[in-house]
Structure 1
């Protein structure tokens, strides 16, 4: 297994375990809003697992593994540059131990070796009354700082690990609220409980405050030992931290000093790369635009390249690259730039365009739009029936007038219901409903748009009755599913669109309206997602070109009569 992949997977697994621990701990803190007693009751539940033998092994094993793998990830990094989000994550991660070490000693260590019951009332009093640590930070702020460092570090890790999963888009808004709510209530619980403790008449700071008691020269040998041990561990941590930092600098400097591999890009652009550096890292280090939606984690294939030099000079596939390439059936000359670490000179062509290569500028802030991103959405096709025969009998200016009035009605109906027009196809329209991360809302919005359009078309026919021999008629097809959305086009003419089976099916459903003698054909998937009762509509099964099997649909003769309640 590739070392960098193994390190990343180990960090993800251990990180998720630690995140669950932190989450349950902060939920416990938030009970302080109710009372100290509620915190203590929650603590009993919290400690039931985390202080059991399996829980202890899981917690401290994950903590040790996560720290070791984080150090390895830094030391094996092949460049000095970091993304902004990485700087935040790394900084909070390595600053956290300065506040975490003493916390572990005054809780788990004191409980196991000093027979001290580390209850919330003692710990809260301890922090609220302890003056300042050796860094000059008042004790009151220690838990708040530790909460923010641990939570932000964890949230960034969760985002990096899961944001490219198809299911994450559905919960993104909930996750954002959750990300802010958990630390807010945890800190609020700590502050409310602290205020309650120090205003309690029975409170005696010397009995409850172990650290303050020690600083006044009255502590027992046990207390003195744990304070001394915590200080020694912190000193060792500082030594490890600076050793890691020095090793990182030396490692990157060594690789750059002995860089000797020539990588040739299109237009005969040649750059020099170091041994062990991926093609993607070389591109990024030298300002060469290179698509990589997943951030170089081999979760997509947007960084893929075509190798135009001798394939026999290429190193073997990493396990993760081999699995992805086999799944996508790439030829032998197609490799993933994020995984390929050339050992000899190589010529490559990046295959996925990014904004900088498309428009000739270096701004890559919208890479996902130009590389494509998978999402679940609702597609609507609308076609004006028999308009060709109408146009044949009208002057060109009159035809344009009628067509624009129809487009105005259709466009308003779509946009009023949170949709967007993707493109005009003659007298037809393709619309997309993807504003919400909830597919139910998008499905309902699409059906509402069809209902509103049908109603407004009746009004338009009244307005145009003197211009038309017969009323305008439309066919509407609606389907939901996964699609790849991105910017497509040529030269300076680019627009966002969706591509995939969902588009094909929606188009075919619209075409079937004529044969089924109805105004709207919606797939069963859309109706189920919208939560509408199927008993209200006629059902059918139709063949869709390019698809195996029939598609279950519902037909509506007059879309204006759909009851959305």
Structure 2
């Protein structure tokens, strides 16, 4: 009822926000990739850099494309802060920590570049090219040149981590992993080499006073007052970025205090363990905080489905979001009984039964999980025992004992199969050991070997 009358609340759920963050991240990753391709042309010449820059501006400039690009950038920035606030600080993998740290480093590294290129062009009409930027980075401000190089590496690595988290669960990723890794390493290396080669060419050209006067005239690089205004705007953006980060951390602190003072819910596991977690925690987060092994591979993004549990509780629980519902439908399970532990945020006590072993191998992800999905069925088990089998085996010759036991197993198995059952195991105690020892003795004697010379028959 809630999702029917208030559909916008679905977008506030973690899965919906992650989808938006993924889309915006792909747009920005494409933008960074085209920048790196442009930089790599510096290995040819400065003229090729400037020539491809026109194509770059044609693709990404214009009022509509600029609005879309910066709208995506702002959205991804705030969704990143939201992810920092939302994510619990338990059991972070090194890859997740690296992605988070790299993402937080991008805004301060990007501030100077954005202000002196896009903002300068939009506000003052300063159309700077590679010659002006490389001269600034190599001659006027070497510090910002190093910042630009670090920005290229940090932004590309952040995007590569996001792509890896997104594609690593795809069935075809294993076959293409080496190719994608080669591209991910080769492109930034070529871009950095092109950036440095273009900088060397600009420094050589700057030795000519005529070229230098034409390239850095105020109509292109801006006047002193314009550059001062741009510097102040850059500093304001840095203060804003730092304040937004501190606000996200403060919100986490406030949330922690409220959770300690608020109510708690109890999660009961099949082995009888009870875990008490603050309200708002997912079942997976409760398991990790208490140190209970729980299978999960995607980091709580509703992708791997390894954390699924069967809910054994009469208390109502929230309906699954759209992303979780699609995953459960793909598995062919009923969302009224089976849920993803990373998405189930219960407000009442509940009992769960994890359906995937905690140490599930990675090959489990490549199989059709629908075929191995546990199902609850009624089953009847029958145990059949052969009475006095030990005495029977001792009184008969070995092959006669095997014949009698074989006929008995054949008769019982045929009856089970005819009744629609499935024979599962054949176990034996002392009688089976006696039969095996007698067969070993017959084998040793019939082989013609002397008793003392056959080590395998020393029983």
Per the normalisation by structure 2, the TM-score is 0.72
User: Which structure: greater helix fraction?
Assistant: 2
The equivalences for 1:278-317 within 5 A come to: 278-310=282-314, 312-317=315-320
Contact 1:77-1:248 at 8 Å conserved across structures: no
Pair member with larger Rg: 2
Counterpart Cα distance in 2 of 1:252 and 1:161: 29
Counterpart Cα distance in 1 of 2:145 and 2:346: 53
Counterpart Cα distance in 1 of 2:194 and 2:293: 48
Which of 125, 139, 149 is the equivalent residue of 1:115? 125
Matched, 1:195 2:200: yes
- 2:145 alignment partner in structure 1: 140
The equivalences for 1:51-450 within 5 A come to: 51-79=61-89, 82-131=92-141, 138-200=143-205, 201-202=207-208, 219-310=223-314, 312-331=315-334, 332-355=336-359, 367-369=360-362, 371-374=364-367
- Give 1:124 shift: 0.6
Matched, 1:8 2:18: yes
- Give 1:56 shift: 1.0
Counterpart Cα distance in 1 of 2:57 and 2:267: 55
Counterpart Cα distance in 2 of 1:280 and 1:210: 60
Counterpart Cα distance in 2 of 1:42 and 1:131: 24
- 1:390 alignment partner in structure 2: none
- 2:377 alignment partner in structure 1: none
Counterpart Cα distance in 2 of 1:83 and 1:207: 52
Q: Which runs of 5+ in 2 are unaligned?
A: 1-9, 369-459
Contact 1:294-1:300 at 8 Å conserved across structures: yes
* Superposed CA RMSD: 2.5
Matched, 1:50 2:63: no
Deviates more, 1:91-100 or 1:218-227: 218-227
Counterpart Cα distance in 1 of 2:172 and 2:67: 31
Cα-to-partner distance string for 1:95-118 (whole Å, 9 max, x where unaligned): 111121110111112222222221
SS of 1:342's partner is coil
Deviates more, 1:279-288 or 1:173-182: 279-288
The equivalences for 1:515-554 within 5 A come to: none
Which of 20, 36, 61 is the equivalent residue of 1:26? 36
Counterpart Cα distance in 2 of 1:139 and 1:315: 50
SS of 1:161's partner is helix
Higher relative contact order (CA 8 A, sep 6+): 2
Counterpart Cα distance in 2 of 1:237 and 1:295: 26
- The 3 A distance-change label for structure 1 pair 163 and 316 is same
- Give 1:32 shift: 0.5
Counterpart Cα distance in 1 of 2:269 and 2:363: 20
User: Which structure: greater strand fraction?
Assistant: 1
Cα-to-partner distance string for 1:77-131 (whole Å, 9 max, x where unaligned): 3445532212111111111111211101111122222222211010011011234
